Amino acid sequence: MGAQMKKFKSMILFGVFFFVTSVTLSGFLASPTFSGEPVKIRMAVALGTTISQLMMMKPELLKHNKKSYDLELVQYFGSSPQIPILAAEKIDIGWLAWSDMSSAVINAGIDIKIIADCSQDRDPYWSNAYAVLDNSPYKTPADLKGKTIGVGAFGATPDFVVREIMKKYGLKHPNDYNMIEVQYPTVEAMLREGKLDCGNFLNSFWYRAQKKGGLRILFTHRDVFNPNQEVMHVARTEFIKKHREAVIDLMEDYIRVTRWFLDPANHKEAVSLASQRTKIPEEAFEPWAFTKMDAYKSPDCLPNMEAISKGFKWFYENKYVPKMVDTDRYTDLSMVIEAKKRLEGSK
């Protein structure tokens, strides 16, 4: 009898526990007022007309910021410096070129995923250019034998474009031509002063130089990589696992802001906001920003995966990494796709 009574008491206690737990949990799940702290998302951004770095300029379009997520933008002037920062988990979302992605994944062993577009090089949009003086004798890249070419960054796309196009003309570095790393704002002056024979221009600096005249484009990135995913947004895989819903909300806001900046009806205000964000005069952006004279930005924030795969293959075949990146393994577009569905379903 004593054993049965103990068993009965245990059953009663278990029943009470189950009932209280069930009621509490159901109330917890059903409560419309419950919300946890927003997830801190540290996102690396590039200066210029990249949409991610302009997001905070349109806070009314960030419907989920300070609610499901709390966005912190961190400025970087290159993609390569983000590799150790991603490895140290100091940022959650970065922007990388396919070359840097390859190095991060294969050489550094960082577990990251491609999650969204940042900027692309494709017809008929802008392609980063390599220019010479208009009165120079250089008509093709072959004419640059023995000359000095200034590139924006070693170990990045500007560097690879020069090596690849010169290779097509039978010229190899460093025996047949010289390459030096030059900061983009100084390229024009160095070219006009004769310190460079050919210089690498971003669109903002090229349109500024065009006002003075006297320069012409000899070749572009598109002559080598066409089309090209210049940079894409990547996120740490562990962060995605923990905070997928917050990332989807961020992607929804990202698409909303991207479409706003790309809308010609908003051009004047978009240029003004880019000027405020970068501290660069509006007239420097007015002729080209957010138009076909700018880099292409997907209105759905979807990267060009075929171009990325070709980039991974090129990087591997040119022996920069010991094996090729498995594109499928290191890509997760499900969040930006879900965000697009949500956004368009809410219309």
Q: Is the bond leading into 158 cis (omega within 30 degrees of zero)? A: no
> What 3-state class would DSSP assign to 112?
strand
H-assigned helices in 182-236 = 184-192, 203-212
Instruction: Summarize pLDDT for 290-327 with one digit per residue, the tens.
Output: 999 999 999 999 999 999 999 999 999 999 999 999 99
Q: Check if 39-121+228-345 and 129-223 are the same fold.
A: yes
User: What pLDDT score does 15 carry?
Assistant: 37
> Tokens 């960054």 belong to which residue?
153
Q: Are 331 and 305 in contact (CB under 8 A)?
A: yes
Residue 126 has pLDDT above 50, yes or no: yes
User: What pLDDT score does 204 carry?
Assistant: 86
Q: Are 231 and 120 in contact (CB under 8 A)?
A: no
Q: Model confidence at 9, in pLDDT bands (50, 70, 90)?
A: very low
- pLDDT exceeding 90 applies to what percent of the chain? 80
Q: Which residues 6+ apart lie within 8 Å of 122 measured at CB?
A: 222, 226, 227, 228, 296, 304, 307
Q: Are 237 and 146 in contact (CB under 8 A)?
A: no
Q: Are 151 and 177 in contact (CB under 8 A)?
A: no
Q: Model confidence at 36, in pLDDT bands (50, 70, 90)?
A: confident
Q: Mean pLDDT for the chain?
A: 89
User: What pLDDT score does 76 carry?
Assistant: 86
Residue 30 has pLDDT above 80, yes or no: no
Q: Which helix (H) or strand (E) holds 14?
A: helix 2-30
Instruction: Summarize pLDDT for 180-218 with one digit per residue, the tens.
Output: 999 999 999 999 999 999 999 998 899 989 989 999 999
User: What pLDDT score does 194 carry?
Assistant: 97
pTM value? 0.85
CA angle at 70 for the pair 66 and 73, rounded to the nearest 5°: 130
**What are the domain boundaries of the chain?**
39-121+228-345, 129-223
Question: Looking at the domain that runs over 39-121+228-345, which CATH code has it been given?
Answer: 3.40.190.10
- pLDDT exceeding 70 applies to what percent of the chain? 89
Q: Which of 294, 298, 295 is nearest to 333 (CA)?
A: 298
User: Class assignment of domain 129-223?
Assistant: alpha beta
Q: What is the CA radius of gyration of the chain?
A: 26
Q: Which segments of the chain are extended strands (E)? A: 39-45, 69-75, 93-96, 112-121, 129-133, 148-151, 178-181, 198-201, 215-220, 228-236
d(C-alpha 135, C-alpha 260), whole Å: 42
